[in-house]
Structure 1
Amino acid sequence: MKKIAILMGGFSKESTISLKSGKVVYENLCRKEFNPYRIYLFKDRWFMKDENDKEYSINKQDFTVYGVKDLKFDCVFNAIHGTPGEDGILQAYFELLKIPYTGCNFHHANLTFNKKYCLTFLKHFGINTAESFFLNKNQIFCKKKILNKVGLPCFIKPNRSGSSIGISKVYEEKNLFDAVQKAFLVDEEIIIESFLEGKEVSVGVFSFKNEIIVLPITEIISQNDFFDFESKYSGKSKEITPAKLLPNIEKKIQEIAKKVYEYLNLSGISRSEYIIVNEKPFFLEINTIPGLSKESIFPKQLETIGISLSDVFKNTIYSSIERMNT
């Protein structure tokens, strides 16, 4: 049986969500084909827990486990949202060690996690995006120049962060500076985007048996001002799957979501978000390691078409092993 290291935790506020996702992976891996091992990665320590919750430290030099002989992992299932799991750092690490891992490679992980790079890249292919303005920390900026381009209201976002952490919606010029400082607490680069008035939707896309599958679309209705961290993980949003869309709009979004997956050269599972404005979809962002907890959108979309998480995880693992060995 294949020995699978399930990575969870991470270095950001998203670690609490990652722990839930990792638990789902652990519970849904077929025990007839896989021996799953829970691996926790935090800034201060890396360790494995056995079935009795006994902890064993990880050797970062070769990703072996201290105190456990002959345990060599056949594949790593990456369930870490945010850094270092979603931004290319761990992908590069496992490439060097030649250990197969799920999801896209480090080039594409780095591209998709960086909002500026991802938006610029997709614009080249004709994908609609909001007007945006990019800032580095300690850069002198002119509020008038920014607002002349993006207008009000606008969104201030950390450039490299997920789960809406550090995001503010700004209605008045006087609140711009505080929102910028808030975002800079999360990342040294931020992006300021125009507000788009429309219907927000999310769509899962993944590779399954050498075919790209586009899942049913989910409409997101937040009880808060926007789909923030609380809305996503504290039940402060209504999610409708499948979304109630006109057939031509539904088809258009699914086609764009598939193209985005292909343009970014992704593998494994993903979830992208769009705003529909006057029947035109605008790309917001993409998650190459989407949430897998019971509250998450991706598992709910899978359920509507009758594909089990177990089957998706199995396919993802074998595809990852095959990719590393070719």
Structure 2
Amino acid sequence: MKNVAIIMGGYSSEYKISLTSGNVVFQNLDRTKYKPYRIHILKEKWVYVDEDEQEFPINKHDFSVEKEGRKITFDVVFNAIHGTPGEDGLMQAYLELLQIPQTSCDYYQAALTFNKRDLLSVLKPYGIKTAQSFYLNQGDAINQEKIMEIVGLPCFVKPNKSGSSFGISKVKESSELLSAIENAYREDNEIIIESFLDGTEVSVGVINYKGEITVLPMTEIVSENDFFDYEAKYLGKSQEITPARISEEVHRKVAETAKKAYEILKMKGFSRSEFIIVNGEPYMLEMNTIPGLTNESILPQQAGKAGISLGQLFENAIELALKISL
């Protein structure tokens, strides 16, 4: 029986969502094959939380834990941390140094995909279309005229490295731009300002399933709000329609693009990419490497439509991580 550390929490605004994802993984693992351990990775502490909600500190030197005089080590880590340090490469690099297999992509791919600006810059030369964009680092002079000239109105102002739509604003009037920039800087010291793409938004899960790169059924996002923001994602203010209502030809184009991005980046584990389809052409917005894993989350919904249960989805990730490490 394999000891599986399910890491959850993290240091960002997304930590509560991550705890939910991690608990869903914990509940769905086959107890005849795996002994799962809930590991909370938080700014103030790294702890193993047992069934009685007792906490035991993690020894960061070798990622072990001691309980009742017995040292517990882990065969594999299931990464369910959204945001830093689980989605930006820090945990991946740490675990690689300790030679502990883990279920997400490698540290370079995590760092790259977590940085929207760098991800899109790497993919553009391969013909993957993106919105017009303008980048700012905190402290840069803000030339509103130049920004408007490049991206136009409406536009989106986003933190460059953050998830769950924290810090994103849709700007309809130029007078709203400065407050939107300030809002984004609360989440990150780098921001990306993108032109508005008027089209159909789809979310595309790509996973390595049983050794084969597989594009899952796509989800069409219809938000009640101005865009797919936090409320739309987590508070029911959107419709998520799987499979998406798009033609076979458009579906093929989007699937090819999502798979191509996964392969170009030498990805492993889960990925969920967001696209806007404009006049039949997919434009990539971002790629998430630790997507939500709750029953309501998009990627598990897509897996379900493909006939893959939560248990199978999680077991596949663990088995691939163990196989790669052999």
Aligned pairs, how many? 325
Tell me if 1:19 matches 2:13.
no
Per the TM alignment, residue 181 of structure 1 is displaced from its structure 2 partner at its CA by 0.8
Letter in 2 for 1:153: P
Please give the alpha-carbon distance, in whole angstroms, between the structure 2 residues aligned to 1:158 and 1:128: 20
Per the TM alignment, residue 174 of structure 1 is displaced from its structure 2 partner at its CA by 1.1
Letter in 2 for 1:320: A
Please give the alpha-carbon distance, in whole angstroms, between the structure 2 residues aligned to 1:292 and 1:195: 29
Please give the alpha-carbon distance, in whole angstroms, between the structure 1 residues aligned to 2:232 and 2:313: 27
Letter in 1 for 2:269: G
Structure 1 SS opposite 2:282: strand
Structure 1 SS opposite 2:97: helix
Letter in 2 for 1:83: T
Per the TM alignment, residue 149 of structure 1 is displaced from its structure 2 partner at its CA by 0.4
Show the counterpart of 2:208.
207
Matches within 5 A, 1:307-322: 307-322=308-323
Please give the alpha-carbon distance, in whole angstroms, between the structure 2 residues aligned to 1:197 and 1:181: 25
Q: Which runs of 4+ in 1 moved over 4 A?
A: none
Per the TM alignment, residue 324 of structure 1 is displaced from its structure 2 partner at its CA by 2.4
Deviations for 1:168-193, whole angstroms, at most 9, x for unmatched residues? 00011111111111111110100000
Show the counterpart of 2:62.
62
Show the counterpart of 1:33.
33
Matches within 5 A, 1:102-121: 102-121=103-122
Structure 2 SS opposite 1:11: coil
Per the TM alignment, residue 70 of structure 1 is displaced from its structure 2 partner at its CA by 3.1
Show the counterpart of 2:287.
286
Per the TM alignment, residue 55 of structure 1 is displaced from its structure 2 partner at its CA by 1.1
Matches within 5 A, 1:254-293: 254-293=255-294
Show the counterpart of 2:72.
71
Structure 1 SS opposite 2:58: strand
Please give the alpha-carbon distance, in whole angstroms, between the structure 2 residues aligned to 1:262 and 1:309: 24
Deviations for 1:251-291, whole angstroms, at most 9, x for unmatched residues? 11111111111111111111111001011110011110100
Please give the alpha-carbon distance, in whole angstroms, between the structure 1 residues aligned to 2:278 and 2:209: 31
Per the TM alignment, residue 312 of structure 1 is displaced from its structure 2 partner at its CA by 1.9
Structure 2 SS opposite 1:272: strand
Structure 1 SS opposite 2:182: helix
Letter in 1 for 2:107: F
Q: Which moved more, 1:53-62 or 1:110-119?
A: 53-62
Letter in 2 for 1:32: T
Letter in 1 for 2:66: Y
Please give the alpha-carbon distance, in whole angstroms, between the structure 2 residues aligned to 1:294 and 1:307: 13
Structure 1 SS opposite 2:141: coil
Structure 1 SS opposite 2:322: helix
Letter in 1 for 2:9: G
Show the counterpart of 1:152.
153
Give me the TM-score of the superposition, normalised by structure 1.
0.98
Per the TM alignment, residue 309 of structure 1 is displaced from its structure 2 partner at its CA by 1.7
Matches within 5 A, 1:41-52: 41-52=41-52
Structure 2 SS opposite 1:70: strand
Letter in 2 for 1:183: A
> Where do 5+ consecutive residues of structure 1 fail to align?
none
Per the TM alignment, residue 199 of structure 1 is displaced from its structure 2 partner at its CA by 0.5
- Residue 76 of structure 2 contacts residue 102 of structure 2 at CA under 8 Å; is this kept in 1? yes
Matches within 5 A, 1:176-191: 176-191=177-192
- Residue 303 of structure 2 contacts residue 313 of structure 2 at CA under 8 Å; is this kept in 1? no
Deviations for 1:114-153, whole angstroms, at most 9, x for unmatched residues? 0010010110111000000111000112110111001011
Please give the alpha-carbon distance, in whole angstroms, between the structure 2 residues aligned to 1:192 and 1:111: 18
Please give the alpha-carbon distance, in whole angstroms, between the structure 2 residues aligned to 1:261 and 1:56: 37
Please give the alpha-carbon distance, in whole angstroms, between the structure 2 residues aligned to 1:210 and 1:67: 36
Deviations for 1:15-50, whole angstroms, at most 9, x for unmatched residues? 111011101100111111100000001100111111
- Residue 8 of structure 2 contacts residue 21 of structure 2 at CA under 8 Å; is this kept in 1? yes
Per the TM alignment, residue 194 of structure 1 is displaced from its structure 2 partner at its CA by 0.4
Letter in 2 for 1:45: K
Per the TM alignment, residue 66 of structure 1 is displaced from its structure 2 partner at its CA by 3.4
Show the counterpart of 1:135.
136
Please give the alpha-carbon distance, in whole angstroms, between the structure 2 residues aligned to 1:209 and 1:278: 35
Per the TM alignment, residue 294 of structure 1 is displaced from its structure 2 partner at its CA by 2.0
Structure 2 SS opposite 1:104: coil
Letter in 2 for 1:50: D
CA RMSD of aligned residues (A): 0.9
